[in-house]
Amino acid sequence: MTTQNPDPTQETRTRILEAAVKVFATKGYHDTKVDDIVSESSTSKGSFYFYFPSKQDIFLALSDTFSDLLESRLRQAMETETHGIQQMDAALSASLGLFSQYRGLAKIALVQAVGLGAVFEERRRAINNRLTLIIQSRLERAIEEGSIPPLQAEIAARAWVGALNEVVIHWIYTGTPPLEDSLPALKQFLTRSIGVEKRSNE
């Protein structure tokens, strides 16, 4: 391994990360080699190891990137609405849109991290926990507003995350149905699960 002559630019790091998404999503974690990522990114091993000490580190960095992106996108979507249920609608649409846009990252964070060991599982659970906390806070707000009946918000939020994960993971494996096509049924199912019937303007 050589660490000479690294190219310390953000552009190079981004190129390496983007290449890693492609290679991991295609080959899987175990079959991916650092050389594969270096070749795909048209960089050097020196540049790779300048930013990432190992294959594990870049895989975890991608998981963290997806988690940060997901939380940011959800919070931005919810800021456009004022009430709890409308915020949940916006968050659900935004999350499916994000998964659809970044299928490779979603596959790495939600599928490939399973079964790779404690460190990887911790990252995968962290994504689910961050998403759960966002949903839980909005459900609690909706309860305070009186727009949904009282319920155990954390349990409901985890059930929502579980349902969303199942739909997304099925899509990652099969490509069907398109996530946008899943939105109406998923929204109806999830809102009914917290005691909200389909609204007249939907």
Distance (Å, rounded) from C-alpha 201 to C-alpha 56? 48
Among 2.60.40.10, 1.10.10.60, 3.20.20.80, 1.25.40.10, name the CATH number for the domain at 1-53: 1.10.10.60
Q: What is the largest CA-CA distance in the chain?
A: 64
Distance (Å, rounded) from C-alpha 144 to C-alpha 139? 9
Distance (Å, rounded) from C-alpha 108 to C-alpha 63? 7
pTM: 0.81
Distance (Å, rounded) from C-alpha 34 to C-alpha 36? 5
Which residue is associated with the tokens 């079964």?
A: 115
- Across the chain, which has 202 residues, the per-10-residue mean pLDDT values are 54 93 91 96 94 94 90 90 83 92 90 83 86 91 90 95 94 91 92 76 47
Look at residue 163 in the predicted model and tell me its pLDDT: 94
- Token output for 7: 């190219």
Distance (Å, rounded) from C-alpha 101 to C-alpha 171? 13
Distance (Å, rounded) from C-alpha 34 to C-alpha 16? 10
Residues of the chain with CATH 1.10.10.60: 1-53
Look at residue 2 in the predicted model and tell me its pLDDT: 45
pLDDT tens-digit readout, 130-154: 999 999 998 998 899 888 999 999 9
Q: Which CATH architecture has domain 60-193?
A: Orthogonal Bundle (1.10)
Contact (CB, 8 A) for 159 and 132: no
Look at residue 85 in the predicted model and tell me its pLDDT: 80
Residues of the chain with CATH 1.10.357.10: 60-193
> In this structure, is the dihedral angle defined by the CA atoms of residues 70, 84, 190 and 187, taken in order, positive or negative?
negative
Distance (Å, rounded) from C-alpha 195 to C-alpha 105? 33
Beta-carbon contacts of 9 under 8 Å, excluding residues fewer than 6 positions away, are none
pLDDT tens-digit readout, 170-187: 999 999 899 999 999 999
Look at residue 36 in the predicted model and tell me its pLDDT: 97
